Structure 1
């Protein structure tokens, strides 16, 4: 069908402030009474008086939101920050889905009575010979006039968007689906108007109108547009969730002119300006991007890195808004606000990548570039041929019905050609297959978000995997325990669990969980004098025993000697990509615990199947090179990119695309969202973050990597079904056009009347829908049930 587009500014230095007006003010009054427009850094002001919204674009390097609001208030303009829910509700009013749904419903209101009076009631004797056939004037019946009145708003009000689309296409010297809709519906409508005029002025003219055809055509096309809008990914949901990562408020430290702290104010995060000093308390989310100037703490940056690790922060270190602060108090100097923040940069990557993708409906417009002029040409040629034959008396006069002349007979043949060739089936070919395919995918544990995923997935020849939570389970577990003394395993884990239960670190949770399950412990002694050392480990006193658990640095800090056998265990664990933790009791190292995030059991099988299918496989992760190499070797992936930031992951995807590869990215974390959006097909693990799920084109709802193969196979079959639908729709036209042109008329005196043309159009649409419904019988590839690969039997 084609979609309307608009240009979106991508100026990274511009921040937008959304305000709600509390008092009435005009645009001229706003500019005259306040000096807001004269402030340095103000770039644009937009006033929406109807919704009482004020939108101000400004440079965050030159001015801040508090200064802007203060200037407005000093001029008597009372404002408040626009609530996010109000902003989303306002934008929803203008959404493509809402508009498409409203247009379709209104067209249906007019089309249903037109359809019934033309194609249902006319076959019921009590209606046909009653109210509908009652004559208004001469041969004009009430039924014809009724249909004409109802079809007019459908043609020129509801269908106005088709005129706009056709006009824009003609300005670009091309023909799209809108052009064919306009030509077909106008031919049917204006011929019907001609019938109304002739019927009202003649006592023997008794021809049929095409009013039901024009309303049905427009309604079918609008239904197709609505289904397309439903199947499109909703970027706004992902963006909304990204914006919610950071807390709503910030604790602003206020200083006087002499640099003395005068107050601490809790303000809306959107009012924070560059160089502000913000305090972050223990357990709070960091509200801003900035540099630590006072304090030490641990910060969970898994929302950005994707790795469950606490990162030490001290004076001069960078912190990111939305990350979780640990046990320390931090004072942060704000360095980035608005569009410059880390979350905003991720949002821009997501928006930009999704805007670049072309929907599969583009194929219909490519077909119509040749189909539209061909159909119009056929209609004109048909009318010319029949009219010329009639004027030259090259066919018998009895061929012309008594209520027609030769011109009208030729005109009806020409219009029938254009009407019967209207693109109802073409308009439904894509959205019906998309809707059925996505429904089948959901039943298979694969959520496919629209046409672009179907269009791109069948061309995928490279699959890029994230590691943590994608190839691995995403839950650290204890894999080996090496005791260096005669202490029993139960005694050892009693001390470990009693100490680590006080820590929130993922490794601590893994050790406690291991103690519960494998050491059969559900309770342990109470820890005294517990202390956590940021980035190193913990210590406590358990039953008068001093327990120290952590890395080599922590042992050295407390002057604990590490025996050579423990060093050997550490080296062995690191070579396997495990995290090794030392345990000391009363100054002596008594054990080494190796912790690993296990690879999913199906990972190696899936990678093998993908290779068998001829697809290239890679792994891109934010984890260390050593750990990444071990996991890659275990699952059979040859290329590894480790210690990659979100932007670097997205850049790697672009490099692969520049090499001519069609890339699918499989990930689960927020840090994967830029790469998921940049990839031709983004696949998110269902157990992953909500942001990754919203951004991705395909969601693996069962978190099973086997569904990567299912997703590619189902998308291929769905897109092939779309192609088949196009073939069927065009084949229908190839067969119907000659009949509408009168190819059978010389032999059987058969003309294609309006209701038959409408029924044929409907039948072609139904056939396309039935073709799409065959996707419901999809079965996932047999290779996932039983496949012998390299001597391994997979069942």
Structure 2
């Protein structure tokens, strides 16, 4: 069950999702032990509402007419044995669960969703794939097929237990999608339309096509080997007529292998030749074609060697290797499609009064709409929370595995999963304007570019293939003229087949793609093709302070009381005076009070007035209070506050902002607010030091502030009061000294330094992802992933070198062996396939690093 579709009915009562009674806990069963249980669904039945019927010679009790009818139908069809000692089926959906589900079903009849899920057929017919939640056995499949098959307009129903999918064809004028879903609910199956994305359909078609071609090749190989083996072992004892018949049979069996199974090889070779590019399909196609043509001529003439077994075996093993390579490539694809599929099909839109609601397709949402997202649902659009608070799982967008708290005024992003409580959200961005769409656009841009290393590998592979063709021609000529003309063709085919340029033109980009996918799963999106390659060579990391190593917002970092009032009471007063404030300082004080568990409510705050540039004044409990600058607060006191002001004047952190609180009796407290270090900053710096990278803190903040933070982080290289141009010159100086620089910033005021560095990473919260000019974007605040990215990039470099080293070693050994006749064509086919599998499997290890850590 996919998360978007599961979320459609997540708010329904538990009775709508009745599970197998065998899975219920013992305490629950014990609680209902005194009540009879429904024979069909296992629900407790009250004495006054029970229905009963004799089935299979026993009196059975049912909770409703639906369960009674289903049990009778299953028994008459011969499925009564499936009940056993426990009920195994769900009960029909009715009551409140049905009333809440009906708007969801009706939404699938709208044009927007019909075009997404319903496949039109000829003659006014349509087809849809449904995904029932609790289909478990053959009886379930039979029941669904029988029930839907009797509906008006339904022509066919096929229920597949293995895939848990139901394909229905019907006449559109006589039936609706909502009617099909309601009919399934009548027999206890919660279902929804199932859509396979275009890329999934293309992937599935590619896999199916390759599997079919591989199956034909494998079958042809086995059959041809049955005829080849007697020729190898007892050729002299076989009757010539029978021998010729076996060759003609082998030719007939090889035809589908060459013209069907190997057709992608020939298509790829022809495409390469038309583009004047020597791809790796060219020598393979020449080898297959030459071997088959020579064998066919020898069979027709009745004289000469045939190589049908070698041709079929080579094609079969090559297709097997390509199938595994295809699976790796599809698994290594970036998370863009997976992210895009997170959006639900429908959502609940609230009316202008906030009370009435309707279930509509997400495609109808507009900016300014107000929606309700219940617990267990996916947020369909970017918006601002206006009512409620909950924990949101943002892992699909940010890589953060733990749910984060979001409340009124916070952003809620499309694709996030609401784990705890209902939320009401005002829609800000929909469709292509959402952060989810921006991530997909960034990934698409990265995938559209070819990394420099992969482009170089393609060029080298072209020269390699051209050299190989020349070597094969020379080998054939030498064997034909001076060594053994009868073996010349076989040796030439072996030379063409045994080579393995795939480590250059296949395994290298596979490794880069696998590493890119692993990083995207950790929340780091590569937006430039060279980023991964350059990250592996980084020697120096230039880091901004605000928004990179620190949170980039005010936080309460110190508090001192200067009067008789307790510290908690002072913080509560400050939070009460700033309640509802949009000022960063006010929000920081309110947030600090909440984190400290201080109750700021219950106080009657009156006569609130803001004095621009000075502070705020208010009356609480009939007393006047001021908060803000020291002089402004001191003016309210009856006595001079100069002494306590001087005593508290020194700040713990250079550049911190002091906020004073006072009443008529004098100054009460001083709050110190400053930027706060990210939790993951120490991990980042420690990991970079272990990797041997030099860390530089370069910021526009004052020299004293930057030096304090550098000391706090134990960074030896720091420079403050640096302009954007100065940061760029700082990086340029490092580069003149031979450094490969990684620059990390928020992507706005750091644009010059990000552009100057060889590779750059922008913190995703600093600028819209679609406008980020950096080479990579970190979509969350866990900056420790930057060090993990460098580690994975270096591991990728090692994998690529291993692949290239293996390719060089293999070709140096295999090609001379083939040219000297020690490796036959079928051995060459196996060798090339095994070589391909080795380099692809080596690249696959990088994809696992994204799941298990580097």
- Residue 20 of structure 1 is matched in structure 2 by 114
- Aligned partners of 1:481 and 1:591 also within 8 Å: yes
1:627/1:114 CA distance change after superposition, 3 Å: farther
Question: Please, which of 546, 550, 564 is the counterpart of residue 486 of structure 1?
Answer: 564
- Residue 215 of structure 1 is matched in structure 2 by 316
- Residue 665 of structure 1 is matched in structure 2 by 761
- Residue 170 of structure 1 is matched in structure 2 by 273
- Residue 510 of structure 1 is matched in structure 2 by 592
Q: Structure 1: state its 5+ residue gaps.
A: 1-16, 31-47, 53-77, 255-260, 314-318, 325-329, 390-394, 401-405, 517-523, 643-647, 689-702, 743-749, 779-783, 785-795
Displacement, 1:186?
3.5
Displacement, 1:563?
5.2
CA distance in 1, matches of 2:319, 2:518: 29
CA distance in 2, matches of 1:452, 1:566: 58
Deviations 1:389-435 (A, max 9, x none): 2xxxxx4xxx65xxxxx3x4222222121111244555664377569
Question: Please, which of 663, 682, 686 is the counterpart of residue 602 of structure 1?
Answer: 682
- Residue 91 of structure 1 is matched in structure 2 by 198
- Aligned partners of 2:747 and 2:766 also within 8 Å: no
Question: Please, which of 370, 379, 390 is the counterpart of residue 472 of structure 2?
Answer: 379
1:756 aligns with 2:827: yes
1:25/1:223 CA distance change after superposition, 3 Å: closer
Displacement, 1:177?
3.0
SS in structure 2 opposite 1:175? coil
Query: How many residues are matched?
Result: 630
1:296/1:371 CA distance change after superposition, 3 Å: closer
CA distance in 1, matches of 2:308, 2:365: 73
Superposition RMSD in Å? 6.9
- Aligned partners of 1:111 and 1:219 also within 8 Å: no
CA distance in 2, matches of 1:662, 1:217: 40
Displacement, 1:238?
3.9
CA distance in 1, matches of 2:705, 2:817: 69
CA distance in 2, matches of 1:282, 1:26: 35
1:111/1:366 CA distance change after superposition, 3 Å: same
- Residue 55 of structure 2 is matched in structure 1 by none
- Aligned partners of 2:551 and 2:677 also within 8 Å: yes
CA distance in 1, matches of 2:605, 2:493: 88
- Residue 489 of structure 2 is matched in structure 1 by 411
- Residue 463 of structure 2 is matched in structure 1 by 370
- Residue 235 of structure 1 is matched in structure 2 by 336
CA distance in 2, matches of 1:377, 1:154: 27
1:527 aligns with 2:630: no
Considering Cα pairs closer than 8 Å and 6+ residues apart, tell me whether 1 or 2 has the greater RCO: 1
- Aligned partners of 2:387 and 2:408 also within 8 Å: no
- Aligned partners of 1:437 and 1:718 also within 8 Å: yes
1:167/1:508 CA distance change after superposition, 3 Å: farther
Deviations 1:42-99 (A, max 9, x none): xxxxxx99889xxxxxxxxxxxxxxxxxxxxxxxxx999xxxx979623243355x45
- Aligned partners of 2:519 and 2:525 also within 8 Å: yes
Displacement, 1:379?
1.8
Q: After the TM superposition, which residues 429-440 of structure 1 pair with which residues of structure 2 at under 5 Å, given as runs?
A: 429-430=507-508
SS in structure 2 opposite 1:593? strand
Displacement, 1:212?
0.5
CA distance in 2, matches of 1:323, 1:421: 47
Displacement, 1:738?
2.9
CA distance in 2, matches of 1:534, 1:347: 47
1:79/1:580 CA distance change after superposition, 3 Å: farther
- Aligned partners of 2:616 and 2:628 also within 8 Å: no
CA distance in 2, matches of 1:603, 1:278: 42
SS in structure 2 opposite 1:479? strand
- Aligned partners of 2:636 and 2:664 also within 8 Å: no
CA distance in 2, matches of 1:117, 1:331: 65
Deviations 1:265-302 (A, max 9, x none): 8865643568xx756999999999999xxx9999xxxx
1:663/1:603 CA distance change after superposition, 3 Å: same
- Aligned partners of 1:574 and 1:580 also within 8 Å: no
Displacement, 1:485?
0.7
CA distance in 1, matches of 2:509, 2:646: 61
SS in structure 1 opposite 2:761? strand
CA distance in 1, matches of 2:304, 2:380: 82
- Residue 680 of structure 1 is matched in structure 2 by 775
1:160/1:134 CA distance change after superposition, 3 Å: same
CA distance in 1, matches of 2:588, 2:505: 52
1:173/1:619 CA distance change after superposition, 3 Å: farther
- Aligned partners of 1:321 and 1:342 also within 8 Å: yes
SS in structure 1 opposite 2:670? strand
Displacement, 1:381?
2.5
CA distance in 2, matches of 1:552, 1:640: 29
Q: After the TM superposition, which residues 586-665 of structure 1 pair with which residues of structure 2 at under 5 Å, given as runs?
A: 589-595=667-673, 596-600=675-679, 602=682, 605-606=685-686, 609=689, 613=693, 635=713, 636=717, 638=719, 650=747, 659=756, 661-665=757-761
1:658/1:478 CA distance change after superposition, 3 Å: closer
CA distance in 2, matches of 1:499, 1:573: 23
Displacement, 1:578?
4.1
CA distance in 1, matches of 2:118, 2:325: 43
CA distance in 2, matches of 1:207, 1:322: 57
- Residue 747 of structure 1 is matched in structure 2 by none
Displacement, 1:183?
3.2
CA distance in 2, matches of 1:463, 1:612: 10
Displacement, 1:158?
5.1
- Residue 448 of structure 2 is matched in structure 1 by 355
Question: Please, which of 718, 722, 730 is the counterpart of residue 808 of structure 2?
Answer: 730
- Aligned partners of 1:665 and 1:682 also within 8 Å: yes
Displacement, 1:172?
2.8
- Aligned partners of 1:425 and 1:761 also within 8 Å: no
SS in structure 2 opposite 1:89? coil
CA distance in 1, matches of 2:625, 2:310: 91
1:109 aligns with 2:215: yes
- Aligned partners of 1:187 and 1:419 also within 8 Å: no
Q: Structure 2: state its 5+ residue gaps.
A: 1-110, 130-175, 179-191, 417-423, 726-744
Q: After the TM superposition, which residues 278-293 of structure 1 pair with which residues of structure 2 at under 5 Å, given as runs?
A: none
1:226 aligns with 2:319: no
- Aligned partners of 2:495 and 2:818 also within 8 Å: yes
SS in structure 2 opposite 1:752? coil
CA distance in 2, matches of 1:709, 1:24: 48
CA distance in 2, matches of 1:625, 1:308: 36
Displacement, 1:576?
3.3
CA distance in 2, matches of 1:534, 1:196: 103
- Aligned partners of 1:455 and 1:719 also within 8 Å: yes
Displacement, 1:734?
3.3
- Aligned partners of 2:660 and 2:671 also within 8 Å: yes
- Aligned partners of 2:321 and 2:834 also within 8 Å: no
Question: Please, which of 499, 506, 525 is the counterpart of residue 421 of structure 1?
Answer: 499
- Aligned partners of 2:295 and 2:305 also within 8 Å: no
